[in-house]
Amino acid sequence: MKIKTNEIEGFIRAPQTSVVLMYGPDVGLAAERAQTMVTGVLGPDPDPFRLAEPTAQAIAGDPALLMDEAAAISLTGGRRVVRVQRAGDATTAAFKAVLESRKGSKSAAEESLVIVEAGDLTPRSTMRKAFEAARSGTAVPCYVEDGYKLEAVIADALREAGHTADHGVTAFLAESLGSDRAITRRELEKLSLYVGPNAPVTVADAESCVGDSGAHVLDDAAFAAVLGDFSKLDRALARSEIEGTSPVTILRNLAKTLLRVQLASGIRDQGTSPRDAVAALRPPVFFKQRDQLVAALGRWNTLKLSKALGIVQEAEVACKTTGLPATAITARAALRITQAARQR
């Protein structure tokens, strides 16, 4: 079955089904949620007789292996957990069999807990469809968090580590991190070590220590396009390719930036100054990007923004369906938007 976003945290603490699929682009968040569920059943120091971790490759080669592990009884007593990582549609048949076997069976808390982490699955994925259609299983989406939700995660992590944060710290970190929960956690741990035990965290500390360079390059590419800067765009796209950034990720970040400009444009068109329009955006714009957004408002109107967003959407579809080089498709779309920004 599907689960609503606002129900996920409650489900992780007290799952209503005993077969759970974690999927989505934030692999670190999926792993963190899976580990929370494992700890909820086995405790912080799990008994090896109660935890099985068969590989997806082994299950694909022998689908009965998963059923055997799911039905096994612990030698030392207590509920068992079966955790499968990096699975895909090649293992769908094995998980379908487990889901089918648990229709109308005893309560979820009395059965072994089966967790599968499957990465970013499309709506056409056979694995995702199987879990969403089954009453005995739950599909839990794990999407990259942003805005206030990500800021709350960061603030909680800093507070748990014994730190207070100066004004602007969580906003900066939310802009710099967030592409993967595991990466975010590691960067915050590094920041905690950098400032020292119980020390306050300043923006300067965060800038000196935290570095999701991929996020900075993505923003450089997006703002170069919306500001009509061909040379800066060329450098940013080249760096993105060197760092192995997905072309679709570049397009989505460009679309996010265009949407921010569009929102500010709508506020401006109601009689507000460009700077006040940018200041009114929620979540608040990171202070280093405010001037860039204000400058972008001088180059874009509602019609041009709608066309630009259409270009990005068409490019993403082309990347996924045409078989043509996604890097070239993305570069062409970004260049078209850069050219549009230069046309007053």
The predicted-structure confidence for 101-130, as pLDDT tens digits, reads as follows 998 766 666 789 999 999 889 899 999 999
Same fold, 5-141 and 213-342: no
The pLDDT tens digits along the chain (344 residues) read 999 988 999 999 999 999 999 998 888 899 999 999 999 999 998 898 999 999 999 999 999 999 999 999 988 889 999 999 999 999 999 999 999 999 876 666 678 999 999 988 989 999 999 999 999 999 999 987 766 778 888 999 999 999 999 888 888 888 777 667 887 888 899 999 999 999 999 988 887 787 555 556 788 899 999 999 998 898 888 878 776 778 888 999 899 899 989 999 889 888 888 888 888 887 777 777 888 889 998 899 888 999 999 999 999 999 888 888 889 999 999 999 999 998 87
Query: CATH says 213-342 is which class?
Result: mainly alpha
220's enclosing H/E stretch is: helix 213-226
Say which amino acid occupies 57: Q
Strands (DSSP E) found in the chain: 19-23, 51-52, 81-84, 113-117, 137-141
Sheet holding 113-117, edge to edge: 51-52, 81-84, 113-117, 19-23, 137-141
pLDDT (0 to 100) of residue 59 = 96
The CATH number of 147-209, from 1.10.3210, 1.10.8, 2.40.128, 1.20.1260, is 1.10.8
Q: Which two tokens stand for residue 124?
A: 């056409």
Q: Which two tokens stand for residue 42?
A: 């086995």
Pair 167, 47: CB distance under 8 Å: no
Taking domain 5-141, whether its CATH number is 2.60.120.10 is answered by no
Enumerate the domain spans of the chain: 5-141, 147-209, 213-342
